[in-house]
Amino acid sequence: MKVRGFTLIELLVTIAVLGLVLAAALPSFRGAIQNNRVTTQANELSTAFMLARSEAIKLTQATAICGSTDAASCGGAASWANGYIVFVDQNRNGVRDAATEPLLRVFQIASGGIAFTGAPALVRYLPSGEIDSAVAVNFGISIPQCIGQHARTFQIPRTGRVQVARASCT
């Protein structure tokens, strides 16, 4: 009579081998997750800048994008990590007047957070599609415990087109 099934020793050896394979694969899996998180945030931020530029051209009015803690007003350079807003900046003062300046879109930061380095308080697009700055805007984003090439740098020249590139974590 033949008995089918596994012995306890075979099961334990299989679980031990599976544990070793998972332990070897976990660091690369963590890197893939980090890369996907920062790529998602970089794409969304790039979309926000493109929206601000296209709305400035379409509406023939200045639009702005800034960090926001309350999803309604600008909060300064340190507030980008909480989210950001795109709004029509009719009087070009960099402050959203809720009564007269429409909020075009609110962007939230995904869970896990994003760190901004060198972020400007505000980027304003003119009706021509150019940014309202004498120099290009440069800043970076990364995630907490960033390793390797999982950071991104943003460059916005006077023409207003956003350029995103991979960067080493600092």
Domains and CATH numbers, the chain: 30-167 (3.55.40.10)
Q: pLDDT tens-digit profile of 38-50?
A: 888 899 999 999 9
Alpha-carbon separation of residue 104 from 23, 45, 125, 129 (angstroms): 46, 14, 14, 16
Token couple for 135: 């120099």
Please indicate, yes or no, whether the overall pTM of this predicted structure exceeds 0.75: yes
Q: In whole angstroms, give the CA distance from residue 71 to residue 9.
A: 59
Distance in angstroms (rounded) separating the CA atoms of residues 66 and 7 = 63
Q: Are 65 and 84 in contact (CB under 8 A)?
A: yes
Residue 27 pLDDT > 90: no
Strand (E) or helix (H) holding 33: helix 8-59
Rounded average pLDDT over 93-115: 87
Q: Beta partners for 165?
A: 153
Q: For residues 85 and 164, what is the distance between their CA atoms, to the nearest angstrom?
A: 19
Using the predicted structure, report yes or no on whether residue 92 has a pLDDT greater than 70: yes
Could you read off the pLDDT of 6-25 as tens digits, one per residue?
888 999 999 999 999 888 87
Q: Is the dihedral of CA 28, 33, 34, 40 positive or negative?
A: positive
Q: How confident is the model at residue 33 (pLDDT cuts 50, 70, 90)?
A: confident
Burial of 161 (0-12, 13-18, 19+ CB in 10 A): middle
